[in-house]
Amino acid sequence: MKEAYLYKKLVGLKVRCDLCNHRCVIENGNKGICGVRKNTDGVLFSMVYDKVISENVDPIEKKPLFHFLPGSLSLSIAAPGCNFKCFFCQNWQISQAPCDSDSIEGRKIPPEKLVQDAVRNNCLSISYTYTEPTIYFELAYDTAKIAKENKIRNVFVTNGFMSSECLEMICPYLDAANIDLKSFSESFYKDCAGGRLGPVLENIKRMHNMGIWIEVTTLLIPGLNDSEKEISEIAGFLSNLSNAIPWHISAYYPQYKSRIDATKHQSILNAVEIGKKAGLKYVYGGNIAGGSIENTFCSICGNENIKRAGFSIAKNKLINGSCGNCGNKIEGVWEK
């Protein structure tokens, strides 16, 4: 175990974890909501610093990030646990195991070795993904610092519920993030995810203002967050912040405790159109096959600049980050 970076000691051997917006007050001997941070005699420890549950070389498009070093590889790592309790979780086997089965599995891989793995596999970035990087922040932070020294970029794939202190601490080393915006409803966050909407919206704003390249993903779940009103509210929020933020609208499939039917293809297409009508330049459909809704088009002339096939780049006509037809600047991080 490793002593936590962001916590406060309280009276009576209690501690308050300041890593995410739950700000759990934890009694001696107990764990936080995430199930992987434990108070031992008034000292808060991470139980997953040396528990890498997943390590893979992925295309950056799988995060999904479409405007960040397209076609490049990203070393993708995760430790067990999550600070949310989404009943529809797509990675529940590793995210919910510490709480569901009191199990913390993983291999001991130190930060130095993770960066070496990234270099050896020609990865331009390391993505902290699959589960929630906030709950294994010590491992992610230490790795990100070494990665930066080796000119490897860092990516968070996150639910966006981290504390402001956490975000300030990682900011100098964080190059990009894909943030889940699960809904525009506080009741959804409370009842379906065990979180709150407000802090997520604030962190999307903060990361954008910090200069971190951000893209946003919404998993469209029938009957829960797929109304035209709610999709329009999400689109309006993003467009008001910046109409150049790429928005990924992904199809849901029943997982974990959910028995809701899968998202229909047409629902994704409709949501994409709503996003475009709200003024967003780059709206993508995900987890469905066919069509051109994963391709990148110029917002001025309509030229198809990046054509994708699954997680691969079939065509890239960008010239120095600009449209290959009219020269319009396409927002993103294109230079390796």
Domain boundaries, the chain: 2-46, 54-294, 295-336
pLDDT value of position 292: 87
Question: pTM score, two decimals?
Answer: 0.97
Q: Which fold has domain 54-294?
A: TIM Barrel (3.20.20)
For residue 176, what are the contacts with CB-CB under 8 A and spacing of at least 6? 65, 68, 125, 153, 154, 155, 156, 212, 213, 214, 215, 333
For residue 31, what are the contacts with CB-CB under 8 A and spacing of at least 6? 37, 38, 39, 47
pLDDT value of position 1: 85
pLDDT value of position 22: 98
pLDDT value of position 336: 85
Q: pLDDT 10s digit of each residue in the chain, 336 long?
A: 899 999 999 999 999 999 999 999 999 999 999 999 999 999 999 999 989 999 999 999 999 999 999 999 999 999 999 999 999 999 999 999 999 999 899 999 999 999 999 999 999 999 999 999 999 999 999 999 999 999 999 999 999 999 999 999 999 999 999 999 999 999 999 999 999 999 999 999 999 999 999 999 999 999 999 999 999 999 999 999 999 999 999 999 999 999 999 999 999 999 999 999 999 999 999 998 777 899 999 999 999 999 999 899 999 999 999 999 999 999 999 998
